[in-house]
A and B are shown apart, each in its own frame.
Chain A
Amino acid sequence: MASRNSPGWTKRPDLTLIAEMVEPGTRVLDVGCGDGLLLELLTEEKGVDGRGVEISQEGVSACVSRGLSVIQGNAETDLYDYPDGAFDYAILGLTLPALHQPREILLELLRVGRRAIVSIPNSGFWRHRLHLLIEGRIPDMGAHAEGWYDTPNLHPCTIRDFVMLCRTLGIVIERRVQLDSRGRATRFHGTGAFANLFGEQAVFLLSKKNN
């Protein structure tokens, strides 16, 4: 059973917010679903018809042995196999900066899903800015990397960067929630300058303009 008190959940506060954005009984694709924590919760609590894509064998095996339908694959090559609008939601949790082609994948999410839910780590968070300013070194951003040379985050972006990209691509931000360093949803909205400073992560509910 998925428990919101399990260590996996406390480590990933964005997942709770993502789960809240999903309407019950919908079709969901979780891209980079890991060991299936979110998918399992969505299946059990919201009765969704869930599918996942995960790159690691360990993750896929964990998911499949939980009874989830997950394929071992790479988001950057395998999303193209799904038909248009196959899902109500395509979810991408915290992995956007780790992709080689984040812009293309964002568009793909909104092709296979009528909506996309994307969470990102915010490079504009004040602590990261301060780290760069004072230490003069690239912040780790929670990636637990040995150094800048082995961080999975190939394309770090800020909340404002992401909002700008959505604007360029004609993507509508239906909802946006920032998480502070304790994983709590913050009050900052408006122009986003404060959000970009005080949000450590952000979760976006997206759709295309012509929807």
Chain B
Amino acid sequence: MTDRQFSATAANSGNSADGFRVQLGGNKPLRLDSEAELGPFAMAYQTYGTLNQDKSNAILVCHALTGDQFILGPHPVSGRSGWWEHMVGPGKTLDTARYYVICANVLGGCMGTVGPQDINPQTGASYGLDFPVITIKDMVEAQAMLLDYLEIDQLFSVIGGSMGGMQVLQWAVSYPERCFTAVPIAAAARHSAQNIAFHEVGRQAIMADPEWSEGGYLVGDTFPVRGLAVARMAGHITYLSEAALHRKFGRELQDRAEVSYGFDADFQVESYLRHQGISFVERFDANSYLYITRAMDYFDLAAEHGGVLANAFQDVETRFCIISITSDWLYPTSESREVVRALNAVAANVSFVEIVSDKGHDAFLLDEPTMFDTLGGFLNGAAKLRGLDLT
């Protein structure tokens, strides 16, 4: 698994092309929701653009489950383009000529921030399942420590889709004074039973792979390739819509004129999913997948506020722009509306738009001009209020 080892060393090098890496929690460890303590721990991050004099143009982008800090490519492991090139860059909606964009690998991740594949200082071996269970809130706490390190008091915006959007909501609840604006896209304030169910399928696929070795695969130099690939395949289906799958593949056959009467990848959609699974394994750690999906499952913003989501947003002055996608059945519009409803109930400052797209959950990563126009306008309006010089 040299590829995955490369990912950690790449982020380790401190070379800006491969991202930055900092040790946090050295003086005061991060106390996790599970009450375990972590620190000092490594956090890998990437920045784009330039921080202005009064440090008012910083945007924190929170990545999704299988994303990482490399918003723009080339990715140091896969060599491919970044995951949000449509959104971020010079002249794009998150214009790096105006804004200082920060993205950090989440806690529990496998691209340089501490995760289960790292060495446990207490044992000298990889954490594996000894890594503490983390939550979305823990991820946000770690990011807040990074901002302290960068000496940025207030973010102009915190933006993210899917799990990134959950972090955005948690940011606005945990540190409202540090978020001038917050943009959760295709997200929810809690994980539904259906969300948890799909994640459980993925986790069971990993854990049923004998090479997973109860999470200790790194010791034996094995890797649950099949399990993680199946988890990715199942997950990937949930990111797309029926219409998108049909348009892309229909019932077309893969490199053959007729079905084989066997279990090869006869259909293009099978071949596509297998490819998705295999290429994912090259850049992602199986235990990270377990830990991060668990963090998402545990997410329920209302729970710690007496079960009333509106209470979580009491006295929050952050300006929200909430975006959902019509064909997203994983984090459907109804979930975003719950957040809007809660924000309205406390008369918070909120905009909400449902983008018409038949591309499913993943539409937030794609070229969706209405999403860019709406978000761009929202940020421009907020920049004026914040007194940002955007010339």
Contact = CB atoms under 8 A, between A and B. Distances in A.
A16 B380 CA distance: 27
A57 interface: yes
A75 B337 CA distance: 14
A64 B344 contact: no
Nearest to A67: B381
Given A66-B377, A67-B377, A82 B350 contact: no
Given A60-B353, A70-B351, A72-B354, A65 B378 contact: yes
Contacts of B340: 71, 73, 81
Nearest to A87: B347
A194 B373 CA distance: 48
Interface in B341-361: 341, 344-347, 349-356
Contacts, number: 72
Contacts of B345: 81-83
A67 B381 CA distance: 4
A61 interface: yes
Interface of A: 51, 57, 60-61, 63-73, 78, 81-83, 86
Interface of B: 319, 321-322, 337, 340-341, 344-347, 349-356, 370, 373-374, 376-378, 380-382, 384-385
A75 to B, nearest CB: 13
B179 to A, nearest CB: 16
A57 B370 contact: yes
Most chain B beta-carbon neighbours within 10 Å: one of A71, A73, A86: A71
Contacts of A61: 353, 370, 373-374, 377
Contact of A67 (B337, B354, B380): B380
A65 B374 contact: yes
A51 B348 CA distance: 10
By DSSP majority rule, is chain A's interface helix, strand, loop, or mixed?
mixed
Given A66-B381, A67-B381, A78 B344 contact: yes
A83 B355 CA distance: 27
A69 B374 contact: no
A65 to B, nearest CB: 2
Given A69-B351, A70-B351, A72-B352, A64 B377 contact: yes
Nearest to A60: B353
B368 to A, nearest CB: 11
A158 B323 CA distance: 39
B374 A60 contact: yes
Contacts of A67: 377-378, 380-382, 384-385
A22 B382 CA distance: 24
Given A61-B370, A82-B344, A83-B345, A71 B350 contact: yes
Contacts of A65: 373-374, 376-378, 380
Contact of A57 (B319, B350, B354, B378): B354
Contacts of B353: 57, 60-61, 64, 71-72
A83 B310 CA distance: 11
A83 B376 CA distance: 30
A65 B377 CA distance: 3
A68 B321 CA distance: 10
A155 to B, nearest CB: 26
Most chain A beta-carbon neighbours within 10 Å: one of B340, B349, B373, B378: B378
19 contacts: A57-B353, A57-B355, A60-B352, A60-B353, A64-B321, A64-B377, A65-B378, A67-B377, A67-B380, A67-B381, A68-B351, A70-B351, A71-B344, A71-B350, A72-B352, A73-B352, A81-B341, A81-B344, A82-B344
A83 B313 CA distance: 14
Given A57-B353, A71-B322, A81-B340, 5 more contacts: A61-B373, A70-B351, A72-B352, A73-B352, A86-B347
B312 to A, nearest CB: 15
Contacts of B378: 64-65, 67
Given A57-B356, A61-B374, A69 B347 contact: no
Most chain A beta-carbon neighbours within 10 Å: one of B319, B337, B355: B337
Nearest to A86: B347
